[in-house]
Chain A
Amino acid sequence: MNRKLGVYICHCGGNISDYVDVEKVKAAVEHEEGVFLARTTMFACSDATQKEMVEDIRSNQLDGIVVASCSPKLHLTTFRAVSERAGLNKYNYVHANIREQVSWAHSDNKPGATEKAIHLVRSAIAKVRLAQSLEPITIPSRKAVAIIGAGISGMRAAIELADMGCPVTLIEREHFVGGRVAQWDLLFTTDQTGKELVTRLYDDIAKRSNIRLLTGAEVTANSGNIGDFTLKVKITPRYILEKCDQGNLQKAIDACPVEVPDEFNFKITTRKAIYHNFPSEHPQYPVIDIKNCTRCGECEKICGSVDFTQEETTVEIKVGSVLMATGFDPYTPSEGEFGYLQFDNVVTLPQFKRIIDLCEGKLTFKGKDIHNIAYIYCVGSRQVEAGANAPVSQATENREEASRDISGENRYCSRYCCTSVIHSAIETKKRFKGITNYHFTRGIRTYGKQELLYSESLSMGDIYLQSYEDDPPSIIRENGKTTVKINDIMTGRKEISVNADLVVLVTGMVPRSDNSVGSLFKLPRGRDKFFNEIHMKLRPVETVIDGITICGACQGPKNITESVCSALSAATKSFSYVSKGELELEPIIARVDATLCTWCGKCMEACPFDAVKKVSEAGKEIAVINNSVCKGCGMCLPVCPVNAIDLVAYSDQEMETMINALAEDIK
């Protein structure tokens, strides 16, 4: 039994101490049985405090510690490492979560939060008094990683993992790789195009024999745990032979009578049911969109490479870790939001980027020449609560005003859009004659090197106007002309009107509308509805689901550089799970009290891992646990009629003493 204990209560800056009186907690526990020292600390996880803990443990020969701070999901390993550095077995440290489950959950009730924190710390002290020194157990881990999503992040992560010697399965739902980046033309800061970037990465992937690329592939089932995941992947065929006759294929595409909106161009153009994405798409052969194909047979008549006998298949993949790189959706404004789908010359930023890529010589849209372009910023990002702004919508016979309501749930800044639109505006001016750009902003956020673009835009004569969220710009269509008006705060809220040939809504990023793969892996989503990491700074690519990492814009709005950085980080983290071929697990296993066991077989029936065996010992039959097979689930515990089974670290004594501490009144 541990009798010389150290207790550390963290302020977490103010995350805890703003709501929990940590000094009161310390005073309430410092005289508990076995507590030798109790301290409060501004940041328990800081290097200085960790060193102090090591020194405390060594100099006072502490045989157990309690750390009351944030969730153990975040810092359990940190403080276990502290214990080990101090020569204390890491299972003699017990954690009390007084941030997520106290200060944040009860920020509406400070006295209640403080009282709860005292109970939780006392409970942890009660547990550590009984803690034992244990050694971890090891399990095999498959040296293979599955990456879901072959956009810029997924492709880069695949290359990184492959170069570390790890087999990778890269799973892409679409029939072409590259994700959103494939849709962009020139990119800041390198001036290479999205197509060039994707082509380079695709070529790099093709050179690596340990990357298996599956396109038209969707994960439909997931089972297993860290070190041993089994994924079922449904693969939709392309209905085109891999070695096809490109000349006849083009004729087949021309002959196809089906036309559907082209998602690659954000529906500003159409495509056939048999289609390419763009001239250098990868893999470099087209696909038949079977959902829209009418099976008229026209393409088959022309091209022998069309093969409707191909069938959907399902493959099983076994990996040790899964890396999620599923990307984002561009925000789609609702009908009428700043005139979207209401006026024919209002488009979103992604659509505008495709328009300037598709136009040659002069900028046109729907047959009309474009000279004056109005960019309305923060559409779908930095939204406000309903009623916080003053939407106005007036209509007369010749005059129609679009809704300028910016209320919604997307409170975050999408980060990339200011830079992206300014870059597009500059490129438009460079590429086409007679362009004037008017930027209706809510403040420019071209951080870091991107500020150079803003300077360049200003020097090229772009005009910047600004408003706050309580008074967004209005779009009016009168006598066939579109006017954007703003009460510009840079000129003392003077009303400024601009006649616009084209209005570009600078839309941000939103989470994928199809979250089926996230649901499959039970990945938590944050307030912004993007996948949530454990901690944005300390564990930025890990999720609470062991063995699953996240990167890129599925985690939150990011530009390409940021996405690639997070991809490299996630690749490294996933590799750390599989690189050794084995993983250390908690030594939490069942144990049988041979003196109580009378062998009834119920524990053996309950065990899903065949870890319980019957043996004869001292003249009677009893149950024994195979320690190398037991996973520590404890399913055998409640079925024992004589209460002869315990789980290490969850004995009756430990559980009851914790319950006692939680139930005890605070004096």
Chain B
Amino acid sequence: MAGISAKSARILVFSTEKISDPAIDMAGLLKLHYPPTVYTISVPCSSCIKPVWILHAFEKGFDGVFIAADGSDCTYGESCTDKTGRLVSMTHEKMKEKKLDPARLRMAAICSVCSEAFVKQIKSFNQYLLQITQS
């Protein structure tokens, strides 16, 4: 995988089928543009994401991983927010062990109507990743 491009970082997004996926779809419908190097893999719930998947993405050359979390809207229960937070913390620790900047993994709750919030988050994350790789 080539290094970061001049304009956009390569970001892997874990979205959720029922909550954040519709928001990302609607961002497209509304023609809210974000870098085309942002790739989405959909999962049932944000609290099912394994740290090994995230670490694998970094290993394969992704500049950042973004978890578009269910937040309090999770159809599987309110504990999703805490559990997703815990898996992110757990992964941050593993990233530190591997000398990876933990800020390259970011999480935000993206509800089914949060298209603008998603694009805003992704653009800001992209900017951050560009800064750290170019500094």
| A interface residues with partner B (beta carbon < 8 Å) | 71, 73, 97, 99-109, 112-113, 115-116, 119-120, 123, 225, 522-527, 532, 544-546, 588, 606, 608, 631-635, 637-639, 643, 647, 650, 652, 655-656, 658-660, 662-665
Contacts and interface: CB of A to CB of B under 8 A. Distances in A.
B29 A116 contact: no
Given A524-B113, A634-B44, A652-B52, A663 B79 contact: no
Interface in B68-100: 73-77, 79-80, 83, 87, 90
B28 A104 contact: yes
Contacts of A606: 83
A584 to B, nearest CB: 16
A515 to B, nearest CB: 10
B49 interface: yes
B103 to A, nearest CB: 20
B27 A105 contact: yes
A647 B36 contact: no
A52 B32 CA distance: 35
Nearest to A656: B56
A544 B112 contact: yes
Contacts of A522: 19, 73, 111-113
Interface string B47-72: 11111110011001110000000000
Interface in B12-45: 12, 18-19, 21-37, 39-41, 43-45
B6 interface: no
A105 B112 contact: no
B60 A659 contact: yes
Contact of A652 (B50, B111, B113): B50
A94 to B, nearest CB: 11
Interface string B1-15: 110000000101000
Contacts of A634: 43-45, 47-48
A632 B25 contact: no
Contacts of B47: 633-635, 638
A635 B76 contact: yes
Q: Considering the complex of A and B, which 6 residue pairs feature the smallest CB-CB distances, nearest first?
A: A634-B48, A112-B36, A100-B28, A104-B28, A633-B76, A663-B60
Contact of A663 (B30, B40, B61): B61
B37 A112 contact: yes
A650 B43 contact: yes
Contacts of A527: 29-30
6 contacts: A99-B28, A634-B44, A637-B48, A637-B49, A662-B12, A663-B10
A635 B80 contact: yes
B44 A632 contact: yes
A101 B45 contact: no
Given A522-B111, A643-B52, 8 more contacts: A104-B29, A526-B29, A544-B18, A633-B80, A635-B83, A659-B12, A663-B10, A664-B1
B41 A113 contact: no
B50 A525 contact: no
Interface residues of B, number: 54
Contact of A647 (B19, B24, B44, B57): B44
Contacts of B77: 608, 633
A120 B23 CA distance: 18
B94 to A, nearest CB: 11
B76 A608 contact: yes
A120 B28 contact: no
Contacts of A588: 44
A8 to B, nearest CB: 20
Residue of A99, A113, A633 most packed against chain B (CB within 10 A): A633
Nearest to B39: A662
A107 B51 CA distance: 33
Nearest to B113: A524
B83 to A, nearest CB: 6
B76 A631 contact: yes
Contacts of A652: 50, 52-53
A209 to B, nearest CB: 33
B118 to A, nearest CB: 10
A652 B48 CA distance: 12
A625 to B, nearest CB: 14
Contacts of B29: 100, 104, 526-527
Residue of B34, B51, B75 most packed against chain A (CB within 10 A): B75
A635 B43 contact: no
Contacts of B26: 100, 524, 532
B81 to A, nearest CB: 12
A659 B49 CA distance: 13
A109 B43 contact: no
B22 A544 contact: yes
Residue of A107, A120, A123, A663 most packed against chain B (CB within 10 A): A663
A100 B25 contact: yes
A638 B87 contact: yes
A523 B49 contact: no
Contacts of B79: 608, 635
A101 B47 CA distance: 23
Contacts of B112: 522-524, 544-545
Contacts of B32: 105
Nearest to A527: B30
Nearest to A532: B26
Given A112-B36, A606-B83, A635-B76, A546 B1 contact: no
Contacts of A647: 44, 48
Contacts of B19: 522
Contacts of B40: 97, 101
A106 B36 contact: yes
Contacts of A109: 33, 36
Nearest to A631: B76
A501 B28 CA distance: 49
Nearest to A652: B52
Nearest to B70: A633
Nearest to A647: B48
